[in-house]
Each structure stands twice: as C-alpha cells, then as structure tokens.
Structure 1
Amino acid sequence: MHRIPRRVLAHLVAAVLLVAGSQAAAAGKLKIVATFSVLADMAANVAGEHGEVSALVAPGRDVHNFTPGEADLALAGSADLILWNGLDLETWFPRFYHHFHGVPQVTVSLGVEAVPLDRDAYDGKANPHAWMSPADARRYIDTIRDALMQRDPVHAGNYAANARTYAARLEALAAPLRKTVAGLPEGRLWLATSEDSLAYLARDFGLKELYLRTLDTEDEAIAPQRVEAVVATIRAERIPVIYSESPGSPDPARDVAQQAGIRYGGALPVDSLSGPDGPAPTYLDLMRVTMDTIAQGLAQP
C-alpha cells in the first residue's frame, strides 16, 4: 500500500477544508461538528435550519475508544464550532483538538455536577454519561443554545425557541418512569445493569444502582467474585430485573439473570444512537426507549 507524502496530504486536507467551508458559507449555516451521535442530534435540534451538523463518531460506534482519521481532521478543521462531552468521555479529544486551535470548541457538560466513578482504578474520575439524566441533558441543551447564539446572534431567537421546545419534549418523556417510581415501595427502587452508565438517571429518579462493571471499555473479563456479589445482592434485595446497555454485549446481564432467577429486561441504548431503522435513531428516541424499558421492568412484580 502506497503512503501519501505528508506535503501532498496537507494540500488535500486544505482543499477539503476550503470546499466544505465554502459550501457552508454559501448556505448561510453554521457548520457544527460534534464528537458523537448523541451530541450531534441535540445540536441539530437546537440549530434547526440554521445549522449543518456532523458527528465524528458515527451511530453504533464506540466513542470511548475512537481513533480519529484523516477524514475526521478535515471535517473538524472546516467547522465553525466543535462540541464535545468532556467528563473524560472522549479521552482522545484534547490531542485531536491540538490541530484546530482556530476553531472554537465547547464542552457541553459545563455546569453538570459530576457523579464520580466509585472504583479505585478510576481514581475519582467522573462518570461521563450525564446526557442520560433529563435534568443534565437540559444543561447540555442550554449550553449548545448559548454557543450557537454567540456564534450566530442574528438567529438567536430561533435557537432559543428550538431549545425550549426540545427541552419540553425531553421532559415529557420522563413522565412514565416518574409515575412508576412514585408507585414503588422503597425496597423496589433498584436499577441493576451490566455497566455503570446510568448513574445520572438513577440519581434523578431516586434509584439505587447495582452493576457488573464500571465501564464497558474495561478489557478484562468480569471477575467471578463480582458476579457472585451482584447475584447475592439481587437475591437479598429481591431485585426483579437486570438490564444491559448498548452498544455492548447483553450476555453478562443475561447470565446474571439466569443465575439469580430474575428477568432480563432488555438492552438500554446509552452511548450511541442507532441507525435510522433501529430503536433509537434520535436522542429523544434513545431516552424514550431507555426510560420506558426501565419503567416496564420495574412495574412488573
């Protein structure tokens, strides 16, 4: 395979940036690049017709372990604004962003009260999945709104109106789970999952967490002692259901369900949107599927 000389590659990237930038300018739209599909969908809803939004990490791909390529350099370099989650989700992003100091970037988790990961191996690092909290997602939406208003004050009113509508739709999706949780006895307020990716959602709804592993990025197999501890807690607390997260394998949660004699409640989309024909092609779909699936599982005895 022939390698492209660095000087030639630089000219190619520059040409791509020039064409992409010219197209966005001609359309009169902000060119927004988000690190992954959840943020891209949020930004598209707030920007509306005045934004052109792309994601570096495509739906179905792992944002934690993403490795940017040449096309990603070209895409981000042509942006008017780059959005990233922060909270140690995109550990690759700071080095990646060194290429684009002239492009504004915004950390959308700004203002979120971080929930720490509770394993010594993570040394108090934040749980990165704050978008799974309806309350914190509202902060994301407001941060995106403010960033767009600053970059494009002419359409500030549009961005503000879009953000209000979008946030209201998100809040409405939480109603079934709030109703279910309100009707449960104290001892049933458990959320058992394969990964600690729902800490913010659990906090919002007053649920206690139980999980097999801290992050799905861990390479090692789940220790048998951890599985035994989770099964023992399920039995002691009479937890009726356990869920898995997607992307990710459902097998660990299924195995625990079989060992503990409880129901496997299904996969909860977390880190990525699905394709257009999947269960969660938008962020609101992702939250609806996740909250409705939890509500249905907890409501059953």
Structure 2
Amino acid sequence: MTLTSKLRAGIASAAIALFAAPALADDVKIVASFSILGDMVEQVAGDFADVTTIVGPDADAHVYSPSVADARAVAEADIIFVNGMGFETWSDTLIAESGTEASVHVATVGITPVLVDDETDPHAWNSLLNGVIYVQNITAVLSEAVPAHATDFAANAEAYIAELTALDAQTREKLGALPAGKSTVVTAHDAFGYLADAYGLNFVAPIGIDTEAEPSAQELAALIEGLKEQGASALFVENITSPALVQQISEETGLKIGGRLFSDALSERGGPATSYLAMFQHNLGAIVTALEAAGES
C-alpha cells in the first residue's frame, strides 16, 4: 500500500470517528507542524486546548514523511499552525489530502526573512525577538477562535513573552562580552542565520538550509580550506543531522567539536532542550562556552 493510500485510509477512519464522537465545543484540537512550534502553542494555549505535534523531538522536518496517524490528527484538527517560509515542504499535501476543515495559520507572519545564498531561511525561531512574533501570532489566532478564553491566552502570552525578552537581553549581554574576532561558528547545516543576524555571530556550514542537500567533495574541500586559512572559533554537531561531516571538518582543521546544538527540533524527554526556552538556553550556553575557550587559546 502506498503512503497516499495509507493516508486516505487513515483519513476515512478519522472521518468515521468524528461522526461517531463529535468533539466538545471547548475541546479545541490544535496541530502544530513541528516540536518547537508545538511548544510555543502549548505555552499560549495552556489547559484550554489539545495540541498535537506532527514532527516530534530530534526529528528532521525538512525530510519528514507524514504517517497515517498524522493524517488522522490533521483531519480531526480545528486549528493548524505551520512555520511557513518553505520549511515544511510536505505540509500542503498532507493538509489538502486530509480533507480537514481546520483553519491553517502561518506562525511567521510579520517576520522579516533572512536570505542564505538567495534562499529564504525558514529557521526564524533562532532569534528570540522573532519568537515573540510567533507567540503574538499564535495568541491572536487562539483568541479569535476561542474568545471565551482570550483573557487566559493573553495572560499566558504575556508571561511567556517576558521570559523570551529576558533571555534575549541575557543573550546579547553574554555574546557582547566575548573576545573580539571570536564569533565564527561551524555547524552541520545553515539553520542559524537568524541567530547570527540578531546577535552578531557568523555561522558557516557544509550543508545549506535544507538538510536533504549534500555538499560535493569540491565544496566540502573549499569549506575546509577556507576554515584553515581564516579560522573559526567553534564547531558543533546538530541533533537532527549526521555528525559525519562535522567530524570530518574537525579532523581536517583541528577544530574541537564543542558539543551538540538543537537547531530544528527539541530534545526527547530527559534531554537538555525539551522546550523552546530550554533549547535556546542550552544552545547559548554551548556557544558561549566554546567561544570563551577559543578566546583564551
């Protein structure tokens, strides 16, 4: 059975379930496309909605293949949030084939896109002030959809935004105190353009914004040669990509791997990045530690 056939079978089952047991009026079912966005939605919705995430922790949304369970969740949803900016290439097909009557909302509306090699970088959450825009967009949607709890959503959002802006100020302070000239960070793929743009860092990577792409031997050799000539201060693997390329860069440049960054997904339960705030705190701590060490060498 093909994936499309499986999805259609799942959708049919979901339709039967919906007919047999309609949701309560205040039992709002929300689907978020990936784990970071799902956490933001949960922070705003609180106890007043049931949030399902399609692409879970430590999973790569760039190359994800939806399942029958995903199709069922979308078919049953009242509200769907996606990141947009070309991030979830599979989402339009999944939503269209599900037959869902849910309203679909792009969480990045109002964010100025960063371009990487003339392509739109979809990883907008890697700036905390962009994270505030995500939260404001989510709050507006939920307040309109469930006006009875608009005050609750607003209160949750206000408290959450206060945490995000406080961490943004802390990030600027910590990164601003780093030694001059020690700001180049190497990662597996181009996921940190917004962090670089917001906080004055320079990120380079062997893979572009889409993890499906692979560098040619010539491109990788040119990157390694450039790092040998110009230097870099930190090197990291990511939670959603193979460490092989980063290990090769480490071996050929002498750069020590400074740990693992969480780029496109949260960590599994028990990990260091189980929420958007925790993810940013972990990444910030790892980057600062590596760049401080580079400044002392």
TM (norm. structure 2) is 0.89
CA distance in structure 2 between the aligned counterparts of 1:77 and 1:252, rounded to whole angstroms = 39
Per-residue deviation, 1:287: 1.2
Q: Does 1:259 align with 2:248?
A: no
Does the aligned pair in 2 maintain the 1:257–1:264 contact within 8 Å?
yes
Alignment of 1:41-56 (within 5 A): 41-56=39-54
1:204: how far off? 0.5
User: What's 2:282 paired with?
Assistant: 289
Query: How far apart are residue 114 of structure 1 and its match?
Result: 0.9
Deviations 1:190-233 (A, max 9, x none): 2221210000011110112221110352353x333333333333
Relative to structure 1, the CA distance from residue 244 to residue 6 in structure 2 (aligned partners, 3 Å threshold; closer, same or farther) is closer
Count of aligned residue pairs for this structure pair: 291
Aligned letter for 1:190? T
1:98 Cα deviation after fit: 1.6
Deviates more, 1:179-188 or 1:35-44: 179-188
1:77-226 → structure 2 map (5 Å cutoff): 77-99=75-97, 100=99, 102-118=101-117, 124-215=118-209, 217-220=211-214, 222-226=215-219
Kept after mapping to 2: 8 A contact 1:176/1:292:
no
Q: Deviation string for 1:58-98 (max 9, x for gaps)?
A: 22222112222322222112111000000101111112222
Q: Aligned pair in 2 of structure 1 residues 72, 9: CA closer, same or farther (>3 Å)?
A: closer
Q: Identity rate of aligned residues, in percent?
A: 32
* Cα RMSD, aligned residues only: 2.5
Q: Does the 8 Å CA contact 1:38/1:282 hold for their aligned counterparts?
A: yes
The alpha-carbon distance between structure 1 residues 78 and 109, as it changes in their structure 2 partners (threshold 3 A), is same
Q: Which residue of 1 aligns with 2:71?
A: 73
Alpha-carbon spacing, 1:39–1:21, altered in 2? closer, same or farther (3 Å): farther
Aligned to 2:231: 238
Code of the aligned partner of 1:265: G
Select between 234-243 and 131-140 the one with higher mean Cα deviation. Answer: 234-243
Partners of 1:19 and 1:236 in 2: CA distance? 67
Rounded to whole Å, the distance in 2 between the matches of 1:9 and 1:294 is 43
Name the CA distance, whole Å, in 1 between partners of 2:185 and 2:7.
51
Does the 8 A contact of 2:10 with 2:71 survive in 1?
no
Q: Compared with structure 1, are the counterparts of its residues 151 and 296 closer, same or farther at alpha carbon in structure 2 (3 Å cutoff)?
A: same
Distance change >3 Å, CA 229–CA 179, structure 1 → 2: farther
Paired residues of 1:181 and 1:295 also in contact (CA < 8 A): yes
SS at the partner of 2:155? Answer: helix
Conserved 8 A contact 1:269-1:280: yes
Q: Which residue identity does 1:108 align to in structure 2? A: A
Q: Give the TM-score taking structure 1 as reference length.
A: 0.88
Candidates 263, 274, 279, aligned match of 1:270 = 263
1:47 to partner: Cα distance: 0.4
Counterpart Cα distance in 2 of 1:254 and 1:9: 41
> In 2, are the aligned partners of 1:191 and 1:202 still within 8 Å (CA)?
no
CA separation in 2, counterparts of 1:188 and 1:64? Answer: 30
Deviation at 1:11, TM superposition (A): 4.9
Cα distance in 1 for partners of 2:227, 2:233 equals: 8
